[in-house]
Amino acid sequence: MKSSAININKPTFGKALSLKLKDVMELTKFRLSFLVVFSAVMAYLLAIQTSSVDFLKILFLSLGGFLITASSNTINQIIEKDSDKLMDRTKNRPLASGRMKSMEACLIAGLSGVLGIFILSIFFNTISGLLGALALISYAFIYTPFKKISPTAVFIGAIPGSMPLLIGWTAATGSIGIGGLVLFAIQFFWQIPHFWAIAWLLNDDYKKGGYALLPGAEGKTRSVALQNIPYLLGLIGVSVLPYVLGISGKLSLAVSLIAGLFFLIQGIQLATDLTDKSARKLMFASFGYIPVVFISLVLDRI
C-alpha cells in the first residue's frame, strides 16, 4: 500500500520534464530574453545593405543573443536568490523557492554564456562577441550587485539593456558605427522611464528585498516622477536621428514622434496625479514603444 501511494504521488517523466522546462524558462526569463533578441534582430535588419535577408544568420543572431541574455538573467537570480525569497513578486522563482539548486543554475549560466559568445564571435565577428561578453558581465556582475547600493543602478542596467542594438548592428556591419550608437541611445533613453515606472509600482515589494530603485529616498513623490520627463524628451530627440542620418524615412519618423509624444504624455500624467494607475499606463506605454518604433524603422527601410 505504501509503495502504491508513493507511485501515485510521484510525477510522471513527462510531467517532471515539463516542470523542469518551466523552471528553466523562469530562471532565464524567457520572455525578457525574447525582447532582447527582437532588438538585436531589428538592428541587424536596419544595418544590412541589401534587401536579401540571410535567415540562417538571423537564426544564429537570435540564438547567440538569447543564450547570453539567459546567462545574464540566471546569474542575476543566483546572486539575488536570498533577496528574492523576501519579495512577493520573486519568492516563487526556482532558486528562491528551492526547486532548483544553485549548482544547476551555475551550469546553465556557464554553458549558455560561453555558447552565446562563441556563436556571435564565430558566425559574425569578434566585436559582436566582445559586446555580448560586455553585456553579460556588466549586467550580471555590476548592475545586479549595484541594485542594493544606489538607484544609479538603473543607469548602469540601461547599458547592457541597450547593448543588443549594438550587437545586431555590428553583426551586420563589422563595426559599431553612428547608426548603432543612435539605436543604442534610443533604447537607453527608453529604459529609464520604463524602469522607473516598474520601480514605482513595485516600490514596497522592492523595499522588502533591500532595493531602492526610484531616483530619490523619499519614494513616490512629484520630484521623483518629474525625473522621467528629461529622458522622455531625450527619447523624442534621439528618435529623430535615424531619419536625419538617412537610416529610415518619413513614415518611421512620424511613428517615432507619435509614440514618443504618447509616452511623454503618460509621464506628465504620472507627475501630475502621482497614482499607481498612471504609473501602470506609463509602463504599458513603454512596452508598446520599442516594438512599434523598431518595426516602423525596419519597414521604412525595406
> Do residues 141 and 88 both lie within one domain?
yes
> Do residues 31 and 169 both lie within one domain?
yes
- Asked whether residue 182 carries a pLDDT value surpassing 80, the answer given is yes
The range of the structural domain enclosing residue 286 comes to 177-302
Residue 5 resides in a domain? no
- Residue 286 maps to which CATH number? 1.20.120
Tens of pLDDT along 40-85? 999 999 998 766 788 999 999 999 999 999 999 999 999 999 999 9
What are the residue ranges of helices labelled H in the chain? 2-9, 13-27, 30-47, 55-79, 81-84, 94-97, 102-123, 126-137, 144-146, 153-173, 177-201, 203-208, 222-226, 228-239, 241-244, 250-273, 276-301
Domain-ending residue, one of 149, 175, 201: 175
> Do residues 27 and 140 both lie within one domain?
yes
Residue 239 resides in a domain? yes
- Residue 50 maps to which CATH number? 1.10.357.140
- Asked whether residue 24 carries a pLDDT value surpassing 90, the answer given is no
Domain-ending residue, one of 140, 175, 210: 175
> Do residues 71 and 136 both lie within one domain?
yes
> Do residues 171 and 195 both lie within one domain?
no
> Do residues 23 and 144 both lie within one domain?
yes
Residue 57 resides in a domain? yes
> Do residues 288 and 159 both lie within one domain?
no
pTM summary value: 0.90
> Do residues 34 and 147 both lie within one domain?
yes
Tens of pLDDT along 115-140? 999 999 999 999 999 999 999 999 99
> Do residues 96 and 110 both lie within one domain?
yes
Which grid cell is 206? 522592492
> Do residues 112 and 137 both lie within one domain?
yes
Tens of pLDDT along 79-116? 999 999 999 999 999 999 999 999 999 999 999 999 99
Q: 107 near 39, Cβ under 8 Å?
A: no
Domain-ending residue, one of 141, 175, 209: 175
Give the per-residue pLDDT at 146. Answer: 92
